[in-house]
């Protein structure tokens, strides 16, 4: 008899921010991130993720309005936990909001949210989003303190930051890689025991996705930069399809 725990198909959220980065390099409307969202969904994405940054360097407010109106799949709005962003979320009502730390000068989201250090500040923002029926996700480092704080705050989801794991993979540091995978595995288990849904993302590629796809507790991966980069060479459709196949193969689903 097969005694393995039942493993569900892992969802793929495609982050289309960097389609908007290319558009904004020239201004105008091309390439359109909403068109990319439709294409990603047709290729196997289960949802679309977009990060509305304070400085609007890629995604802009009108993209969020159009994504919500047009894509017909869950929209995961990544945003800083600020009153401005919460008001925008309450206006557009995405399926989920993923709260991320944000500093204007950083190129991307460099670390997880300091949930334990900011509990009092996060509490009203989370309450407002949840009262509007929006699922709240916290983008955190894979550590126990952050998960315990996320549980106290009533987060529906934690998204585990895979950036350090992906950096170790790039550097070819086997010991560092094993250590990061252990941290991610332990954090995913702890969050699942606390009945928090577990997502993961940041920096994932064809080479690094399988280890995350194998973790039964991780029900969704959010992947953007690598897919948009690969789209330059082989098209977005092919890139999303390949990622989907790698996830399904690793998970055996
Ligand atoms: N998840 C979160 C919370 C993020 O901030 C990002 C980057 O915007 C991603 C996933 C996707 O990361 P990447 O673009 O490196 O795949």
Residue carrying the six token digits 């949802």: 47
What local confidence, expressed as pLDDT, does residue 2 receive?
Answer: 47
Tell whether 2 is covered by a domain.
Answer: no
Number of domains in the chain: 1
235 located within any domain: yes
- DSSP codes joined into one string, 84-141: HHHHHHHHH--SEEEE----TT-SS--S---TGGGHHHHHHHHHHHHHTT-EEEEEE-
Residue 148, domain member (yes or no): yes
Q: Which atom of ligand 1 is nearest to the CA of 78?
A: 3
Residue 6 falls inside a structural domain:
no
Q: Is residue 74 part of a domain?
A: yes
CB of 158 closer than 6 angstroms to any ligand 1 atom: no
Q: What is the pLDDT of residue 190?
A: 98
Whether 64 is in a domain gets the answer: yes
Catalytic one of 102, 202, 217, 220 = 202
Give the Cα separation of 194 and 114 in Å (integer): 19
Which tens digits make up the pLDDT trace of 183-199? 999 999 999 999 999 99
* pTM of this structure: 0.95
Rounded CA gap, 225 and 34, in Å? Answer: 16
The pLDDT score that the predictor gives to residue 108 is 63
pLDDT digits (tens, 9 = 90+) for 14-62: 999 999 999 999 999 999 999 999 999 999 999 999 999 999 999 999 9
Ligand 1 pocket, 13 CB below 6 A? Answer: no
Flag residues of the chain having pLDDT under 70.
1-6, 104-110
> Residue 4 and residue 31: Cα distance in Å, rounded?
44
- CATH, residue 103: 3.20.20.70
Instruction: Note the pLDDT of residue 253.
Output: 76
Please tell me the distance from the alpha carbon of residue 74 to that of residue 27, in angstroms, as a whole number. 27
In a domain, 4, yes or no: no
163 Cβ closer than 6 Å to some ligand 1 atom: no
State which of 100, 109, 136 you would mutate to test the pocket of ligand 1, scoring each by most atoms of that ligand within 8 A of its C-beta: 109
Residue 159 in any domain: the answer is yes
pLDDT of residue 107: 64
Q: Ligand 1: does its nearest atom lie under 6 Å from the Cβ of 165? A: no
Q: Which domain holds residue 224?
A: 11-251
């Amino acid at each position: 008899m097969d005694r393995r725990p039942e493993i569900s198909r892992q969802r793929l959220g495609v982050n289309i921010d960097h389609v908007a980065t290319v558009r904004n390099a020239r201004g105008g409307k091309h390439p359109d991130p909403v068109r990319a969202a439709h294409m990603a969904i047709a290729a196997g994405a289960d949802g679309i993720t977009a990060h509305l940054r304070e400085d609007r360097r890629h995604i802009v407010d009108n993209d969020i309005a159009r994504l919500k109106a047009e894509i017909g799949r869950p929209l995961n709005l990544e945003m800083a936990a600020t009153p401005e962003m919460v008001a925008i979320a309450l206006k557009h009502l995405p399926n989920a909001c993923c709260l991320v730390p944000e500093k204007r000068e950083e190129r991307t989201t460099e670390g997880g949210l300091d949930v334990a250090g900011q509990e009092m500040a996060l509490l009203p923002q989370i309450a407002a989003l949840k009262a509007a029926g929006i699922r709240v996700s916290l983008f955190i480092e894979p550590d126990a303190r952050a998960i315990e704080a996320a549980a106290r705050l009533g987060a529906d989801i934690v998204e585990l930051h895979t950036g350090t794991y992906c950096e170790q993979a790039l550097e070819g540091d086997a010991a560092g890689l094993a250590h990061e995978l252990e941290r991610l595995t332990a954090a995913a288990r702890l969050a699942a025991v606390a009945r928090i849904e577990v997502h993961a993302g940041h920096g994932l590629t064809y080479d690094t996705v399988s280890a995350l796809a194998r973790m039964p507790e991780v029900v969704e991966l959010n992947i953007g930069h690598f897919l948009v980069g690969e789209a330059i060479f082989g098209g977005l459709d092919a890139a999303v399809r390949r990622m989907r196949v790698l996830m399904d193969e690793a998970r055996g689903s």
